[in-house]
Structure 1
């Protein structure tokens, strides 16, 4: 797919933002499946909960699990774009964010092929970016996590932001993957400002200074490739 028309040009390379990547019907099907996920499948963190599909990434290699058919169809939809170049996605991290919840500054790190794709469902959010410590710093004094959002907010400076609407697909790679931390602030409402870089690609027309509707529960599907996997493959019902 030619992403030329979807590239966010007001931030460092490379972010692609595709509004309405999935339909409202597909979004409702995803939310319905997530709602029915058995409680033991969830990992409860301090500021949100999550589910790994495809396996749990580990430095020694991910023991591959079969991704459920309902979810694999969206993985295939992303793979069909050629997002991961010569690779295919084999892992999905499902995060649930309630109003007031967020994720600390982090990079996804070396366990993953250096491209992130994220489908947003249910509600909007604003993704914030700060310079990773040790690169040609503007400022930014945040720890680098492992993709689960561990980090340190002390001293970080938000340089730019992306507004993620429901049903959108965001792709991050290149410098944005390696040299910047991304995070979601723990707030119940977002104010639009001139640091948001993708207004021109959004489905809705916004005016700076507007308050978005208060945050509602959001489900994100972060679809990635884990290069190092075990030959074992587990299947769960």
Structure 2
């Protein structure tokens, strides 16, 4: 029984230092609410182990260069806990543990910014998808109309739209949403400030033309309401 308790204590001691690093990573790189808790626990373990390895490597490098000698992380050794911890070693364990926490947090920060950079480079590819082109270039500064799979239509301003994710995860956060009223044949502003629309409900998105926002890339060839074709050219084929 004592060995089991010691093993659990070692596991907790080795796991907890990864929590601050994982928290920083999640805040910088972003959270995926669809992600299960097991994946986050695995990420905490990986960051904590990477921080411990980094701490040991820095200690070894300092010893080789004769610059410093860090305290060994004896709290990850079950045999040390089995023998009991004296008062003399408490301060040493505390210093080593703080070093482990700092190292793991640094790993989390580094991973977050590396991931953020890679994601931004992927998103800014030379050949963007139609969705990223719509969200990044045509929706900003425009009212948009979102048609849902249940037949409802909402107008508003896109506050957030996921682009560097699979199609079934392209959720939309709509600011100042207005719902279409068939009775009034108009979009009526609702009392809600924001409306979250999961990807599975979104059928189509249209950016409303605004001459005030018009630029060279969005200059219209035809005016709104113009008839461009009386008959489809394919009708005679």
Interval of TM-score (by shorter of Structure 1 and Structure 2): under 0.3
TM-score normalized by the length of structure 1: 0.23
Larger strand percent: 1
Q: Which has the higher contact order (CA 8 A, sep 6+)?
A: 1
TM-score normalized by the length of structure 2: 0.23
Q: Which has the larger radius of gyration?
A: 2
Larger helix percent: 2
